[in-house]
Structure 1
Amino acid sequence: MPAETSRHDPARFRQRLAARERLVGSFIKTPTTHATEILGALGFDFVVIDAEHAPLDRAAIDMMLLAARASGTAGLVRVAEPSAAAILSVLDCGATGVLVPHVASATTARDIGAAARYRGGRRGYSGSHRAASYGAGGLWAYIDRADAETTVIAMIEDAAALDQIDAICAVESIDALFIGRGDLTVALGAASNTAAPVQQAVEHICAAARRAGKPVCVMVNAATEAAPFAALGASAFIVASDQGFLRRAAADALRDFTTA
């Protein structure tokens, strides 16, 4: 038996997120299965396949989600846009859930929640895809399972969202908030993602999430960077990316050789 094993059932990701368990994941930006397999085998709770900022088509996403299943990690997808078609595509491929960019209003939040749910929503049905076990399960049994397990995370990254944050948090079908510090930095014209306006926005979002009982996810580069966000209530952390891990390890190796 390999020494590297996954720690939890990916089907329980939504439950664990709601329970505020500390969850650790990473962005996947290279269109291969290997990084997902490695991180899953190491025991990462989830990966986020980045269809917004990486060169990934549906075929690549499909294979990467298969790798997530094979390695026992929850496979989420950051879709390219907050559209029903983008959400349906990755959920049919077997995604555990979606990170949806630029959710700046309660209307958008309701729309993406509806796109991801069957009962009470508007998700298009097919029983022939991976998520439905290629027709092996019954229609309603699959629908109940999908609605119970599918995770919808709204990305808060626009200045307009800050004024609407309580209304966004009140949307029942939104499971969690992701704080997009990079886009907020640009939107607020701040010097960096640690500047005062961004920090104030982070605190504002976290306070709204606490009032609504919604989990918070944030991207960090290391565990030491996560501590202040955890103090504000964040419980899910996206640590760097496959590219970031590769660059860091390669830089360390090169430095070791050039300074030896």
Structure 2
Amino acid sequence: MSKTSWPAAPGSFRERVLGGALCAGTFVKIPTGHATEILGDLGYDFVVADAEHAPLDRTALDNIMQAAGRDRIPVLVRVPSGNSWHLLSVLDCGAAGVVVPHVMHAKQAEEIALSCRYRGGRRGFSAGTRAGRFGGEARWDLVDRADAETLVIAQIEDPEAVDNVEEIAAVDGVDALFIGRGDLTVAYGAPSNDADVIEEASRRIADAARKHDKAVAIFAASIAEVEKLRKIGASIIVYSADQSFLRAGARKALEDIRALDGA
């Protein structure tokens, strides 16, 4: 269990993550709640709504949070930046936590962690939100629950961040490090995300996370990638995306139908 000023609520998704449990999720990029509802019905542990790279504005995120409520699937949001407004907006909508891209140094990580917490932090308070059950939860009950349940994941995806990863991992309130192999591959000018320089960076990030009792998150496009990254300590698995599942299933169906022609 990670040592933190904000201990995890018993039975919460954050407690599972900090305890090192294997958690299976996927990116949600389609700006409706349908994919999230299906994924929750299937039993996925979480989804990551991708507000960095997909057309998910606050209204779309609100719809995704509503859809998540049916099966109580936690929604993390990959925010566009670590700006405090971006963080507050999605947490008020009911996000279980945030994935913050391009965290470069410890000071930035500290500001992000504090912006997501009330006690000892700087999170703006409003009970009249989904996070506060639209006024149905008492002020200090909301404060304590939110601090205990909000998951903060720093995405390490720049060479500078890899150089600073020990200091970032040590920041109180950062619960996990996300190995951003896609951006690292581009930043290092590597031929692929399994090039030696990327594998070495991934190991450095995972080693720093484990040293400081933080979880390791990864994106994978295949089970083979999951198996490989599990060996360096990955426990938060973001596998593929709703768009990719739709494309793969639709392509396979079309190929099967066309194969019937002349069969």
State the match for 1:122 in structure 2: 122
* Aligned equivalent of 1:3: none
Per the alignment, residue 157 of structure 2 pairs with 157
Alignment of 1:92-111 (within 5 A): 92-111=92-111
The aligned residue for residue 254 of structure 1 is 254
> Shift in Å at residue 137 of structure 1?
1.3
1:218-257 deviation digits (Å, cap 9, x = unpaired): 0112333211111111111001000000011111111212
Counterparts of 1:54 and 1:11 in 2: how far apart (Å)?
A: 31
**Alpha-carbon distance in structure 1 between the residues aligned to 2:136 and 2:35:** 30
CA distance in 1, matches of 2:212, 2:141: 30
Aligned AA for 1:27? F
In structure 1, the gaps of 5 or more residues are 1-8
1:126-182 per-residue CA deviation (whole Å, 9 max, x = no partner) reads: 111110111111111110000000000000001100110000000011000111110
Identity %: 50
For this pair of structures, how many residues does the alignment match?
A: 252
Calculate the TM-score normalised by the size of structure 2.
0.93
Q: C-alpha displacement at 1:11, in angstroms?
A: 6.8
CA RMSD of aligned residues (A): 1.4
Which residue of the partner structure matches residue 3 of structure 2? none
Give the SS at the match of 1:24.
strand
Q: Name the CA shift for 1:98/1:11 in 2 (closer, same or farther; >3 Å).
A: farther
User: Is the partner of 2:104 in helix, strand or coil?
Assistant: coil
Q: SS of the counterpart of 1:121?
A: coil
CA contact (8 A) 1:28 1:36 kept: yes
Return the letter of the residue paired with 2:15: Q
Would the aligned equivalents of 1:40 and 1:73 in 2 still touch at CA under 8 Å?
yes
> Within 5 A, what are the aligned runs for 1:68-79?
68-79=68-79
Q: Do structure 1's residue 39 and structure 2's residue 39 form an aligned pair?
A: yes
Rounded Cα–Cα distance in structure 2 between residues aligned with 1:139 and 1:146: 11
Matched residue type, 1:89: S
Change (3 A) 1:63 1:253: same
- CA distance in 2 between counterparts of 1:96 and 1:132 reads 13
Consecutive unaligned residues in structure 2, runs of 5 or more: 1-8
- What corresponds to 2:5 in structure 1? none
